[in-house]
Amino acid sequence: MAENTEKRTDVNELGEFGLIDHLTKNFPLKNKSSFKGIGDDAAVIDNGKKMTVISTDMLVEGIHFDLMYSPLKHLGYKSVIVNLSDIYAMNAIPKQITMSLAFSNRFSVEALEEFYSGVKLACERYNVDLVGGDTTSSPKGIIISVTAIGEVEKDKLTYRSTAKVGDVMCVTGDFGAAYLGLQILEREKQIFASSPGVQPDLEDQSYLVGRQLKPEAQKDMIETFRKVDLVPTSMIDVSDGLASEIFHICKKSGVGAFVEESGVPIHPDAEMMALKFRIDPIACALSGGEDYELLFTIDPKDVEKVKYIAGIYIMGEIVEASEGIKLHTKGGNIHPIKAQGWKHF
Ligand code: ADP
Ligand code: MG
């Protein structure tokens, strides 16, 4: 028998983005309508007058969610939201979704109906149509794959790669809450595992738990941008953690960033819970993830346009790449921000 000399590389050696780059590097775009391929929050297809943006995300039981504490209705809702978030991140308006499911015989019709009630709620609130999908079986658990399709005028498309030195860095909403919500749910799960009679104490943590189980996408913000006639110079949605997204914008745009700790919005409930868990609130905000807020940059001349919009915060500035990506702490220190996030494999 021939000796197996094939090299075996563990996917962890490359990491998520290294792996994607590696697998997709030999796929040059051939068609004129394939305007933008891999590398941003969504792909862009040129349909002449309007641009179509497309994004896909997959959610796997046991990796992205735990049915011990994710109600199926919330899961249906969230699986749509995380995809719409990528469409909004291109400054586009989502119009359609497709939903593909693989599930084991553990799931009943009633359970799937519950899941679809959440999907329906998201479709109604965000004004998108469910136009297709695929249904198949899996040996274990449930896997959800959603594709979202949106529209945008060519001159409003917003990429990760177009931030310029001198631009002002802004964010919507607040950070770290979804991560802390997850910590609370994990803690309750442990307590439940050791003493099943104990009822979970989630009432007073409804903000944090809600941010984890039922996030929203930034529809209102994208509509506001249109109202005030603002086109950000770059944009990304915050799914993997604020620090990681700052890195994406900087790496793709070939720039650095200077972030004020005092400019990073953190909800008071998140601040309190972080301290209770003995974690630095700013670490939760920077590395937590699943906030589904927008991180974007604007030309300094547009600062007046965002200054008075509730829910937008100025957080920092784009600097030369050689200056790195740094945090100016409340204590007056300056240190490099580390990219973290994603460790699913
Ligand atoms: P996000 O965090 O915004 O969902 P991802 O990190 O999942 O983005 O993806 C980054 C880019 O890589 C996107 O353009 C996405 O379409 C592309 N991508 C991810 N996985 C694959 C894959 N297996 N094959 C081809 N392209 C991929
Ligand atoms: Mg994204």
Any atom of ligand 1 within 6 Å of the Cβ of 290:
no
Angle between helices 177-194 and 206-213 (to 10 degrees): 100
The two tokens of residue 125 are: 């609130």
Are 202 and 194 within 8 A, CB to CB? no
Q: What's the CATH number for 11-156?
A: 3.30.1330.10
DSSP assignment letter at 107: -
Q: How far apart are CA 256 and CA 239, in angstroms?
A: 20
Are 77 and 128 within 8 A, CB to CB? no
CATH class, range 168-336: alpha beta
Predicted TM-score (pTM) above 0.85: yes
Give every CB contact of residue 56 below 8 A, 6+ residues apart in sequence: 83, 145, 146, 147, 148
Any atom of ligand 1 within 6 Å of the Cβ of 333:
no
Ligand 2 centroid–CA 1 distance in Å is 47
The two tokens of residue 264 are: 């990073």
Where does CATH 3.90.650.10 sit in the chain? 168-336
The two tokens of residue 228 are: 């005030």
What pLDDT is attached to residue 345?
41
Burial 330-344 (b: 16+ CB within 10 A, else e): eeeeeeebebbbeee
Ligand 2 centroid–CA 55 distance in Å is 9
Any atom of ligand 1 within 6 Å of the Cβ of 38:
yes
Where does CATH 3.30.1330.10 sit in the chain? 11-156
What pLDDT is attached to residue 341?
43
pLDDT per residue as tens digits for the range 125-150: 999 999 999 999 999 999 999 999 99
What pLDDT is attached to residue 316?
97
What pLDDT is attached to residue 338?
81
Any atom of ligand 1 within 6 Å of the Cβ of 46:
no
State which of 36, 38, 63 you would mutate to test the pocket of ligand 1, scoring each by most atoms of that ligand within 8 A of its C-beta.
38
What pLDDT is attached to residue 141?
95
- For ligand 1, atom 17, name the residue with the nearest CA: 38
CA atoms within 13 A on the CB side of 73: 6
What pLDDT is attached to residue 16?
85
Nearby residues for ligand 2 (ion, Cβ within 5 Å) = 41, 86, 237
Q: What are the angstrom distances between the C-alpha of 272 and each of 122, 208, 288? A: 30, 11, 15
| pLDDT-flagged residues of the chain (< 70) | 1-4, 199-203, 340-345
